[in-house]
Chains A and B, each alone.
Chain A
Amino acid sequence: MGGSGESVQHITSPSDFDSLLSSTRYVVADFYADWCGPCRMIAPFYSQMASNLSIPGFLAFAKVNVDSVGALAARYGVSAMPTFMFFKDGKQVAVNGNRIIQGADKVSLEQAVAKMARLAREKADAAANETA
Protein backbone atom coordinates (compact mmCIF):
# COMPACT_ATOMS: atom_id res chain seq x y z
CA MET A 1 0.00 0.00 0.00
CA GLY A 2 1.96 3.00 -1.20
CA GLY A 3 1.04 6.11 -3.15
CA SER A 4 -2.27 7.79 -2.50
CA GLY A 5 -4.22 8.26 0.70
CA GLU A 6 -3.34 8.99 4.28
CA SER A 7 -0.86 6.31 5.31
CA VAL A 8 0.07 7.79 8.66
CA GLN A 9 -1.51 5.96 11.60
CA HIS A 10 -3.04 8.56 13.91
CA ILE A 11 -2.99 7.05 17.38
CA THR A 12 -5.99 7.83 19.58
CA SER A 13 -5.15 5.92 22.77
CA PRO A 14 -2.49 3.79 24.43
CA SER A 15 -4.33 0.60 23.50
CA ASP A 16 -4.55 1.83 19.92
CA PHE A 17 -0.76 2.10 19.92
CA ASP A 18 -0.36 -1.29 21.56
CA SER A 19 -2.51 -2.82 18.82
CA LEU A 20 -0.30 -1.30 16.17
CA LEU A 21 2.82 -2.53 17.92
CA SER A 22 1.50 -6.07 18.05
CA SER A 23 0.23 -6.11 14.47
CA THR A 24 3.22 -4.52 12.74
CA ARG A 25 6.80 -5.71 13.02
CA TYR A 26 8.49 -2.30 12.55
CA VAL A 27 6.89 0.91 13.74
CA VAL A 28 8.16 4.48 13.56
CA ALA A 29 6.41 6.88 15.96
CA ASP A 30 6.26 10.68 15.76
CA PHE A 31 5.36 12.33 19.08
CA TYR A 32 4.16 15.83 18.26
CA ALA A 33 2.03 18.75 19.39
CA ASP A 34 -0.21 21.02 17.32
CA TRP A 35 1.40 24.14 18.77
CA CYS A 36 4.93 23.04 17.98
CA GLY A 37 6.42 24.74 14.94
CA PRO A 38 9.19 22.23 14.22
CA CYS A 39 6.60 19.42 14.29
CA ARG A 40 4.53 21.17 11.62
CA MET A 41 7.64 21.71 9.55
CA ILE A 42 8.58 18.05 9.39
CA ALA A 43 5.01 16.73 9.11
CA PRO A 44 4.79 16.73 5.29
CA PHE A 45 8.07 14.81 5.04
CA TYR A 46 6.84 12.26 7.56
CA SER A 47 3.56 11.83 5.65
CA GLN A 48 5.45 11.35 2.44
CA MET A 49 7.65 8.64 3.95
CA ALA A 50 4.54 6.94 5.29
CA SER A 51 2.93 7.00 1.84
CA ASN A 52 6.00 5.68 0.10
CA LEU A 53 7.31 3.15 2.57
CA SER A 54 4.49 1.68 4.67
CA ILE A 55 4.07 -2.10 4.38
CA PRO A 56 0.96 -3.47 6.12
CA GLY A 57 2.02 -5.81 8.87
CA PHE A 58 5.68 -4.91 8.49
CA LEU A 59 6.23 -1.15 8.57
CA ALA A 60 3.93 1.53 9.89
CA PHE A 61 4.32 5.23 10.64
CA ALA A 62 2.42 6.38 13.71
CA LYS A 63 1.72 9.89 14.92
CA VAL A 64 0.98 10.54 18.59
CA ASN A 65 -0.39 13.91 19.67
CA VAL A 66 1.13 14.40 23.13
CA ASP A 67 -1.76 16.63 24.26
CA SER A 68 -4.46 14.14 23.20
CA VAL A 69 -2.66 10.99 24.30
CA GLY A 70 -0.65 12.25 27.25
CA ALA A 71 -0.43 8.77 28.73
CA LEU A 72 1.71 7.60 25.81
CA ALA A 73 3.97 10.64 26.02
CA ALA A 74 4.45 9.85 29.71
CA ARG A 75 4.99 6.14 29.06
CA TYR A 76 7.90 6.85 26.75
CA GLY A 77 9.24 9.85 28.68
CA VAL A 78 8.76 12.28 25.82
CA SER A 79 10.16 15.63 26.86
CA ALA A 80 10.56 17.49 23.58
CA MET A 81 8.73 17.48 20.27
CA PRO A 82 9.00 16.17 17.78
CA THR A 83 10.47 12.97 19.19
CA PHE A 84 10.79 10.00 16.84
CA MET A 85 10.99 6.49 18.22
CA PHE A 86 11.52 3.11 16.64
CA PHE A 87 9.92 -0.21 17.51
CA LYS A 88 10.66 -3.75 16.42
CA ASP A 89 8.30 -6.55 17.40
CA GLY A 90 6.68 -4.29 19.95
CA LYS A 91 9.88 -3.19 21.69
CA GLN A 92 11.62 0.16 21.44
CA VAL A 93 14.94 -0.22 19.63
CA ALA A 94 17.89 1.94 18.64
CA VAL A 95 18.45 2.57 14.93
CA ASN A 96 21.90 3.71 13.83
CA GLY A 97 22.72 4.03 17.51
CA ASN A 98 19.82 6.36 18.31
CA ARG A 99 16.97 5.21 20.52
CA ILE A 100 15.20 8.47 19.81
CA ILE A 101 15.60 11.39 17.46
CA GLN A 102 14.68 14.60 19.20
CA GLY A 103 13.79 17.64 17.14
CA ALA A 104 13.01 18.18 13.47
CA ASP A 105 16.20 16.47 12.31
CA LYS A 106 15.25 15.47 8.80
CA VAL A 107 18.62 13.97 7.91
CA SER A 108 18.84 11.61 10.88
CA LEU A 109 15.19 10.68 10.53
CA GLU A 110 15.58 9.86 6.84
CA GLN A 111 18.60 7.63 7.52
CA ALA A 112 16.88 5.81 10.36
CA VAL A 113 13.72 5.25 8.36
CA ALA A 114 15.70 4.03 5.36
CA LYS A 115 17.24 1.34 7.54
CA MET A 116 13.91 0.35 9.07
CA ALA A 117 12.36 0.19 5.61
CA ARG A 118 15.12 -2.07 4.33
CA LEU A 119 14.72 -4.47 7.25
CA ALA A 120 10.93 -4.41 6.95
CA ARG A 121 11.11 -5.11 3.22
CA GLU A 122 13.40 -8.13 3.84
CA LYS A 123 10.98 -9.55 6.39
CA ALA A 124 7.98 -8.88 4.15
CA ASP A 125 9.64 -10.57 1.18
CA ALA A 126 10.68 -13.55 3.27
CA ALA A 127 7.12 -13.94 4.54
CA ALA A 128 5.75 -13.71 0.99
CA ASN A 129 8.17 -16.41 -0.18
CA GLU A 130 7.09 -18.70 2.61
CA THR A 131 3.47 -18.60 1.57
CA ALA A 132 4.13 -18.64 -2.14
Chain B
Amino acid sequence: MAPLTPGSDFPQGVTFTYIAPTGSLDLTACGLPIQYDASKEFQTGKTVLVAVPGAFTPTCQEKHITSYLASLEQLRAKGVARVIFIASNDAFVMSAWGKANGVKDESILFMSDPKAQFSHSIGWANDDRTGRYAIVVDNGKVVYAAADTVRGSIDNSGAAGVLAKL
Protein backbone atom coordinates (compact mmCIF):
# COMPACT_ATOMS: atom_id res chain seq x y z
CA MET B 1 0.00 0.00 0.00
CA ALA B 2 1.54 3.25 -1.12
CA PRO B 3 -0.20 6.55 -0.50
CA LEU B 4 -0.11 8.99 -3.41
CA THR B 5 1.84 12.15 -2.88
CA PRO B 6 2.04 15.18 -5.13
CA GLY B 7 5.12 14.98 -7.31
CA SER B 8 5.09 11.21 -7.57
CA ASP B 9 4.19 9.27 -10.70
CA PHE B 10 0.71 7.86 -11.02
CA PRO B 11 1.15 4.12 -10.41
CA GLN B 12 1.48 1.59 -13.21
CA GLY B 13 -1.00 -1.17 -13.92
CA VAL B 14 -4.12 0.66 -12.75
CA THR B 15 -7.25 -0.38 -14.63
CA PHE B 16 -10.94 0.29 -14.12
CA THR B 17 -14.00 -1.07 -15.91
CA TYR B 18 -16.71 1.01 -17.47
CA ILE B 19 -19.48 1.13 -20.03
CA ALA B 20 -18.82 3.65 -22.77
CA PRO B 21 -21.58 6.28 -22.99
CA THR B 22 -23.75 5.88 -26.08
CA GLY B 23 -25.02 9.43 -26.27
CA SER B 24 -28.43 8.48 -24.98
CA LEU B 25 -30.08 8.03 -21.64
CA ASP B 26 -32.59 5.45 -22.78
CA LEU B 27 -32.67 1.74 -22.29
CA THR B 28 -32.81 0.29 -25.80
CA ALA B 29 -29.23 -0.89 -25.54
CA CYS B 30 -27.33 -2.86 -22.90
CA GLY B 31 -23.86 -1.75 -22.00
CA LEU B 32 -20.87 -4.04 -22.18
CA PRO B 33 -18.15 -3.27 -19.64
CA ILE B 34 -14.74 -2.68 -21.12
CA GLN B 35 -11.43 -2.19 -19.44
CA TYR B 36 -9.91 1.24 -19.08
CA ASP B 37 -6.13 1.46 -18.81
CA ALA B 38 -5.94 4.39 -16.39
CA SER B 39 -2.17 4.32 -16.05
CA LYS B 40 -1.80 4.64 -19.80
CA GLU B 41 -4.54 7.22 -20.38
CA PHE B 42 -3.43 9.46 -17.51
CA GLN B 43 -0.01 9.89 -19.13
CA THR B 44 -1.52 12.53 -21.40
CA GLY B 45 -3.45 15.58 -20.34
CA LYS B 46 -4.95 16.56 -17.03
CA THR B 47 -7.21 14.12 -15.21
CA VAL B 48 -9.41 14.58 -12.17
CA LEU B 49 -10.15 11.22 -10.58
CA VAL B 50 -12.85 11.28 -7.91
CA ALA B 51 -13.74 8.32 -5.72
CA VAL B 52 -17.02 8.05 -3.85
CA PRO B 53 -18.10 5.37 -1.40
CA GLY B 54 -21.19 4.48 -3.38
CA ALA B 55 -23.26 5.36 -6.41
CA PHE B 56 -26.72 6.67 -5.51
CA THR B 57 -25.81 7.01 -1.80
CA PRO B 58 -26.77 10.26 -0.03
CA THR B 59 -23.68 12.48 0.20
CA CYS B 60 -22.32 11.15 -3.08
CA GLN B 61 -25.56 11.88 -4.88
CA GLU B 62 -26.63 15.10 -3.27
CA LYS B 63 -23.34 16.91 -2.93
CA HIS B 64 -20.41 15.23 -4.54
CA ILE B 65 -21.41 14.57 -8.11
CA THR B 66 -23.57 17.68 -8.22
CA SER B 67 -20.55 19.80 -7.38
CA TYR B 68 -18.74 18.44 -10.44
CA LEU B 69 -21.73 18.70 -12.75
CA ALA B 70 -21.95 22.37 -11.85
CA SER B 71 -18.23 22.98 -12.32
CA LEU B 72 -17.49 21.21 -15.59
CA GLU B 73 -16.87 24.40 -17.55
CA GLN B 74 -14.52 25.80 -14.93
CA LEU B 75 -12.63 22.53 -14.88
CA ARG B 76 -12.30 22.55 -18.66
CA ALA B 77 -11.13 26.15 -18.51
CA LYS B 78 -8.31 24.99 -16.25
CA GLY B 79 -7.29 22.42 -18.85
CA VAL B 80 -8.88 19.30 -17.41
CA ALA B 81 -9.19 16.71 -20.17
CA ARG B 82 -11.19 14.14 -18.26
CA VAL B 83 -13.20 13.80 -15.06
CA ILE B 84 -13.68 10.23 -13.88
CA PHE B 85 -15.85 9.09 -11.00
CA ILE B 86 -15.08 5.72 -9.48
CA ALA B 87 -16.68 3.60 -6.79
CA SER B 88 -16.55 -0.08 -5.93
CA ASN B 89 -19.96 -0.57 -7.58
CA ASP B 90 -19.76 -2.54 -10.82
CA ALA B 91 -19.68 -0.93 -14.24
CA PHE B 92 -23.41 -1.49 -14.81
CA VAL B 93 -24.34 0.45 -11.66
CA MET B 94 -21.83 3.21 -12.42
CA SER B 95 -23.21 3.54 -15.95
CA ALA B 96 -26.76 3.79 -14.62
CA TRP B 97 -25.67 6.36 -12.05
CA GLY B 98 -24.22 8.51 -14.79
CA LYS B 99 -27.43 8.29 -16.81
CA ALA B 100 -29.51 8.99 -13.69
CA ASN B 101 -27.57 12.23 -13.37
CA GLY B 102 -28.24 13.12 -16.98
CA VAL B 103 -24.73 12.45 -18.25
CA LYS B 104 -24.90 10.79 -21.67
CA ASP B 105 -21.55 11.76 -23.09
CA GLU B 106 -17.94 11.66 -22.01
CA SER B 107 -18.04 14.88 -19.98
CA ILE B 108 -17.86 12.80 -16.81
CA LEU B 109 -16.95 9.14 -17.08
CA PHE B 110 -18.30 6.66 -14.56
CA MET B 111 -16.10 3.69 -13.80
CA SER B 112 -15.77 0.81 -11.43
CA ASP B 113 -12.80 0.20 -9.16
CA PRO B 114 -13.59 -3.51 -8.73
CA LYS B 115 -13.33 -4.63 -5.10
CA ALA B 116 -11.94 -1.13 -4.44
CA GLN B 117 -8.62 -2.64 -5.44
CA PHE B 118 -6.92 0.54 -6.60
CA SER B 119 -8.32 2.50 -3.66
CA HIS B 120 -6.98 -0.10 -1.21
CA SER B 121 -3.60 0.09 -2.91
CA ILE B 122 -3.33 3.77 -2.05
CA GLY B 123 -4.72 3.37 1.44
CA TRP B 124 -8.05 5.08 0.84
CA ALA B 125 -10.66 2.37 1.12
CA ASN B 126 -12.88 0.83 3.80
CA ASP B 127 -13.67 -2.88 3.45
CA ASP B 128 -15.70 -3.19 0.24
CA ARG B 129 -16.05 0.50 -0.53
CA THR B 130 -13.64 3.10 -1.77
CA GLY B 131 -12.98 6.13 0.38
CA ARG B 132 -13.97 9.62 -0.70
CA TYR B 133 -11.04 11.29 -2.39
CA ALA B 134 -9.86 13.23 -5.41
CA ILE B 135 -6.62 12.92 -7.33
CA VAL B 136 -5.37 15.22 -10.04
CA VAL B 137 -2.88 13.71 -12.48
CA ASP B 138 -1.06 15.93 -14.93
CA ASN B 139 0.64 14.04 -17.77
CA GLY B 140 1.36 11.07 -15.53
CA LYS B 141 2.35 13.01 -12.43
CA VAL B 142 0.19 13.26 -9.33
CA VAL B 143 -0.30 16.94 -8.56
CA TYR B 144 -3.05 16.69 -5.97
CA ALA B 145 -4.32 13.86 -3.80
CA ALA B 146 -6.60 14.40 -0.85
CA ALA B 147 -9.27 12.43 0.97
CA ASP B 148 -12.29 13.47 2.99
CA THR B 149 -12.73 11.43 6.13
CA VAL B 150 -15.30 13.58 7.91
CA ARG B 151 -18.73 12.09 7.23
CA GLY B 152 -20.66 14.20 4.75
CA SER B 153 -17.75 16.50 3.94
CA ILE B 154 -16.46 17.01 0.42
CA ASP B 155 -14.08 19.84 1.25
CA ASN B 156 -11.03 18.11 -0.17
CA SER B 157 -12.58 15.99 -2.92
CA GLY B 158 -15.43 18.17 -4.13
CA ALA B 159 -15.12 20.33 -7.22
CA ALA B 160 -14.42 23.51 -5.24
CA GLY B 161 -11.53 21.95 -3.38
CA VAL B 162 -10.02 20.56 -6.58
CA LEU B 163 -10.51 23.76 -8.61
CA ALA B 164 -8.65 25.71 -5.95
CA LYS B 165 -5.63 23.49 -6.57
CA LEU B 166 -5.62 23.52 -10.37
A79 x B27 contact (CB < 8 A): no
Indicate if A95 sits at the interface (CB-CB under 8 A). no
Question: Which of A33, A39, A102 is in CB contact (< 8 Å) with B22?
Answer: A102
B30 x A105 contact (CB < 8 A): no
Residues of chain B having any CB pair with chain A under 8 Å: 19-20, 22, 24, 26-32, 34
Residues of chain A having any CB pair with chain B under 8 Å: 33, 35-39, 66, 73, 78-83, 102-105
Question: Which of B19, B26, B29 is in CB contact (< 8 Å) with A82?
Answer: B29
Known contacts A79-B20, A80-B22, A66 near B28 by CB under 8 Å: no
Which partner residue on chain B sits nearest A33 by CB separation? B30
C-alpha gap A80/B30 in the complex (Å): 5
Besides A81-B32, A102-B22, 6 other CB < 8 A contacts?
A33-B30, A38-B27, A73-B32, A79-B19, A79-B32, A104-B28
C-alpha gap A29/B34 in the complex (Å): 20
B32 x A102 contact (CB < 8 A): no
Question: Which of A36, A39, A79, A104 is in CB contact (< 8 Å) with B34?
Answer: A79
Contacts of B28 in A (CB 8 A): 38, 103-105
A103 x B32 contact (CB < 8 A): no
C-alpha gap A105/B26 in the complex (Å): 12
Which partner residue on chain B sits nearest A105 by CB separation? B28
Chain A nearest CB from B4 CB (Å) reads: 29
C-alpha gap A82/B27 in the complex (Å): 11
